[in-house]
Structure 1
C-alpha cells in the first residue's frame, strides 16, 4: 500500500467488511480473507487509539505542570 493507512480509512473498511458479512454478500471463498483483514484493521485501530490516548494524557500532564509552575 503506497499511502499510509489512517484510523478513519481503517474504520470505514471495517464497517464495509462487517456490512458484507452481515448482508451475506461475501462468498465463502473469501470469508476467511475478509475476517483476517478485519483482524488486522482492528489491531491497527486499537494501537492508534492507545497511542492517541497516551499523547493526549501527556499533553494534559504538561498543561497541568505549566499551571502549577505559574
Structure 2
C-alpha cells in the first residue's frame, strides 16, 4: 500500500496514534486498525528517510569528487 502523504503528515499521524494508545483513548474495537495504520506509516517514513539519505550521500560524493561545483 503506497501512501501519498508527506513525511511530516505521516509523522504527525503517528504521534497522534501513539498518544491515543498511550492515553488509552483507543477503543479495543479499533486498536488493531490503528496499529496497522501505524505500521504502514512507519514503513513510509523509513522509506522516505532512506531515500533522502541516499540522495544526500550521492550529492556529497559528487561534491567531494568535484569540489568546484
TM-score normalised by the chain length of structure 1: 0.90
Distance 2:59 2:16 in 1: 34
1:7 paired residue number: 7
1:60 paired residue number: 60
TM-score normalised by the chain length of structure 2: 0.91
- Residue 25 of structure 1 and its aligned partner are, at CA, apart by 0.3
Q: What root-mean-square deviation, in Å, do the aligned CA atoms of Structure 1 and Structure 2 show? A: 1.4
Find out whether 1:23 has 2:23 as its counterpart: yes
User: Which SS does the other structure have where 1:52 is aligned?
Assistant: helix
**How many pairs does the alignment contain?**
66
User: Which SS does the other structure have where 1:24 is aligned?
Assistant: coil
Unaligned runs of 5+ in 1: none
More helix per residue: 1 or 2? 1
Q: How does 1:31-70 map to 2 (within 5 A)?
A: 31-67=31-67
- Residue 15 of structure 1 and its aligned partner are, at CA, apart by 0.1
User: Which SS does the other structure have where 2:26 is aligned?
Assistant: coil
Unaligned runs of 5+ in 2: none
- List structure 1 runs of 4+ shifted beyond 3 angstroms: none
